[in-house]
Amino acid sequence: MSEDGPTLLVVDDNEDNRFTLTRRLKREGYTNVVVAENGRQALDALAERPFDLVLLDIMMPEMDGYQVLEHLKSDMALRDIPVIMISALDELDSVVRCIELGAEDYLPKPFNAVLLKARIGACLEKKRLRDQEASYLKQIESEKKRADELLHAILPAAAVRELKTTNSVKARRFEDVAVLFCDIVGFTAYCDEHSPEDVVGHLQTWVDAYEGIVLRHGLEKIKTIGDAFMATAGLLEPVEEPALASVRCGLDMVEASRGLDPGWEVRVGIHLGPVVAGVIGHRQFMFDLWGDTVNIAARIAEEAKPGAVVVSAAAWPHLRDRCNGRSSGFVDLKGKGSLELIECQQIRA
């Protein structure tokens, strides 16, 4: 219904009837009244613009009111428009037929002005309530879609599915998960030398590109921590070779970062092992991982050279038949002792 009131369509082949009914409607305050001389004109008008109510005569040449009503109610775009049949036919069979075809009401000619006003008002109120309900449902769907988008922005897809199905995400221990950390070399200095708009804008572009790379390789983004990007392979979604998929992903990350403005160098650390994963928080959900596998992967990234993808010796047996690597020697990782690290240089075909 428009802001300047409802729009009514009067359909009658008799000019005097059209004039009389239109004048009565305007006296009652309905200023948006369109007339049609026959059924085909009525259908053309209904196809061109929205109407809130149709006042439809039955006895018309070519296409009578029954046919117009049947066509209107079979059209999914028009079927919710209320129709009041107005006809000189006052036989019970005619009334029943119109109601069965979907008419909202039926008035005999000559019509009673008071009764006409009351029934038009009732029909328009019903339509207003139906439109309001449809608007609420559309709003609910929109909010539901937005909520789903927010959940997917916070949680991995598999966690979202579990949360929607069971209303919770059960904490679990996962074996043989590849954890990847990628961070930007010299990011703190870059922040000191550039505006916040440049920093956040470039970081957003970087994250967007990495999210695409992660998806392409079958990994799952877990979160960003400052200038570090964390992802896993073989956690909630199955991956045939988690370590290999992670190395491929890491190599693509290094290459992609060089092609993005401002051309940051990055370093990637990968470790393979068990993790505990789950959702924490109530007001703000966060899906996270815990355990030595996560800590070691993060510290390997810190020790990697710019532009390098480095894995732990524990991950290397899963890669040696498919990857060219060079040992970086044994490195003392804080709290983890001395571990051998291997730089993955190329995936063999």
Comparing C-alpha atoms, which of 118, 59, 107, 111 is closest to residue 85? 107
For the chain, give every domain's residue range: 7-142, 169-347
> How far, in Å, CA of 59 to CA of 75, rounded?
22
> How far, in Å, CA of 16 to CA of 288, rounded?
76
> How far, in Å, CA of 160 to CA of 156, rounded?
6
Q: CB neighbours of 68 closer than 8 A, spacing ≥ 6? A: 11, 39, 42, 43, 56, 60
Angle subtended by helix axes 65-74 and 39-48, to nearest 10: 30
Q: Please, which contacts does 183-186 make with residues 24 or more away whose CB atoms are closer than 8 Å?
A: 183/226, 183/227, 183/228, 183/229, 183/266, 183/267, 183/301, 183/302, 184/227, 184/228, 184/257, 184/264, 184/265, 184/266, 185/264, 185/265, 185/266, 185/267, 185/306, 186/264, 186/265
Residue 200: the pLDDT is 94
Comparing C-alpha atoms, which of 340, 95, 298 is closest to residue 179? 298
> How far, in Å, CA of 31 to CA of 29, rounded?
6
Take residue 261 and report the two structure tokens written for it: 């403005």
The verdict on domain 7-142 having CATH code 3.40.50.2300 is: yes
> How far, in Å, CA of 104 to CA of 330, rounded?
84
CATH number of 169-347: 3.30.70.1230
Q: Work out whether strand 220-225 and strand 172-184 pair parallel, antiparallel, or are unpaired.
A: unpaired
pLDDT in tens, the chain (349 residues): 666 789 999 999 999 999 999 999 999 999 999 999 999 999 999 999 999 999 999 988 889 999 999 999 999 989 999 999 988 776 778 888 888 999 999 888 887 888 889 999 999 999 889 888 988 989 988 888 887 877 777 777 778 888 788 877 788 999 999 999 999 999 999 999 999 999 999 999 999 999 999 999 999 999 999 899 999 999 988 899 999 999 999 999 999 999 999 999 999 999 999 999 988 877 777 889 999 999 999 999 999 999 999 999 999 999 999 999 999 999 988 877 899 999 998 888 7
